[in-house]
């Protein structure tokens, strides 16, 4: 299934049904009086987060959605039927934005969470509604009110506990495949990963978290270079970032600073998230060069740098423990 994380749709709630003008005409009833019923309410447009979806592809080709109109009132004081609600199903983690693409209407992060985007129109009153002691034969009936309508953006942000960032070919997909059951595409050329990938990491009976791999960043990604920074939204919810640096590069500090600059340019709090820095591909580096590059990277990052080989598994346990420590601390803070 094709991955789609953004879609623009038009939604309209159902119009209310019209009221009815009718009079009672019945044998042996001398003064029947008004007998017209009210119109029914139009259906609402509701968006619901469901757990069995992971893409917005359903909204790629169908972009206009209308709820059912309310039924008209009828004689014998019968009220029209209410229009059925229209429920749009989206993946968990979907944000609903206004047409300006900035105002957040709702953020659906729990299974079954719902939000009403447009409310159906009220049904019009029939003439029976207006009868009184001074107005015994009203001939007034109101039309139904129109339902609300609007354009909205749907934007999917994957739910993950930790996210992997780095330049292309830093070994992100290899690491994800090594620590989870995910099977991302792995090749020896840049931008092998074209869409975000998720994997579940299990460290023990109680230690489990979701790890997200996004396409690699390059300098100028916030201006649209490479694949741009649109996929950074998928790690906005992460508790910690794993920054992988290709140890086979001579300029490891430059690689680190390039990615950090793109995170800061993107904003949304990514640059301030806890970060685990790991020098990857240790199996392909001479020990002396590895030590020098690790020291240089530690000075540039201002923190301890782990050594990792995603291909052989060297250092994998230490990296996962560091990630789990940050995730557990975040979960504890949320619970408190």
Specify binding-site residues.
Answer: 166-173, 191-195, 213-216, 280-283, 309-311
- Report the interhelical angle of 172-179 vs 316-335 (nearest 10°): 80
Nearest to 156 by CA among 80, 225, 237, 217: 237
CA distances from 200 to 62, 212, 242, 273 (A): 32, 9, 15, 21
Instruction: Pull the structure tokens for residue 20.
Output: 């009815």
Angle at 115 between CA 114 and CA 121, to 5 degrees: 125
Work out whether the CA dihedral 178, 180, 181, 185 comes out positive or negative. Answer: negative
Q: How far apart are CA 35 and CA 131, in angstroms?
A: 9
Angle at 150 between CA 86 and CA 141, to 5 degrees: 70
Nearest to 32 by CA among 42, 22, 40, 41: 22
β-partners of residue 96 are 106, 154
Query: In the block, which residue shows the tokens 């230490």?
Result: 318
Angle at 276 between CA 175 and CA 308, to 5 degrees: 40
Q: Are 119 and 14 in contact (CB under 8 A)?
A: no
Backbone angles phi, psi at 154, to 5 degrees: -105, 125
Binding residues for GTP: 166-173, 191-195, 213-216, 280-283, 309-311
Binding residues for Mg(2+): 173, 193
End-to-end CA distance of the chain: 39
């Amino acid at each position: 299934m094709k991955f789609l994380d953004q879609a623009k749709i038009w939604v309209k709630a159902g119009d209310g049904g019209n009221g009815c003008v009718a009079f009672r005409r019945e044998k042996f009833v001398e003064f029947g009086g008004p007998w017209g019923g009210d119109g029914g309410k139009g259906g609402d447009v509701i968006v619901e987060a469901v757990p069995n979806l992971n893409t917005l592809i359903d909204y790629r080709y169908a972009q206009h959605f209308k709820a059912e109109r309310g039924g008209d009132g009828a004689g014998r004081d019968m009220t029209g039927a209410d229009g059925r609600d229209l429920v749009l199903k989206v993946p968990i983690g979907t944000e609903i934005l206004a047409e300006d693409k900035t105002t957040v209407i709702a953020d659906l992060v729990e299974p079954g969470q719902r939000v009403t985007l447009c409310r159906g129109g009220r049904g019009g009153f029939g003439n029976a509604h207006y009868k009184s002691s001074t107005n015994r034969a009203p001939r007034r009936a109101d039309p139904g009110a129109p339902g609300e309508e609007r354009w909205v953006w749907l934007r999917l942000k994957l739910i993950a506990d930790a996210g992997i960032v780095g330049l292309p070919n830093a070994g992100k997909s290899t690491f994800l495949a090594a620590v989870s059951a995910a099977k991302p595409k792995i090749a020896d050329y840049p931008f092998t990963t074209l869409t975000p990938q998720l994997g579940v990491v299990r460290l023990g009976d109680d230690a489990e978290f979701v790890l997200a791999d996004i396409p690699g960043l390059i300098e100028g990604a916030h201006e649209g270079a490479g694949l741009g920074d649109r996929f950074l939204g998928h790690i906005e919810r992460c508790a910690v970032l794993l920054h992988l640096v290709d140890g086979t590069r001579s300029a490891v500090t430059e690689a680190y600073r390039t990615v950090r600059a793109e995170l800061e340019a993107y904003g949304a709090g990514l640059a301030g998230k806890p970060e685990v820095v790991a020098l990857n591909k240790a199996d392909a580096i001479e020990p002396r060069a590895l030590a020098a590059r690790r020291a240089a990277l530690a000075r540039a990052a201002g923190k301890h740098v782990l050594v990792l080989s995603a291909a052989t598994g060297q250092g994998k346990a230490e990296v996962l423990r560091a990630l789990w420590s940050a995730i557990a601390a975040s979960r504890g803070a949320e619970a408190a």
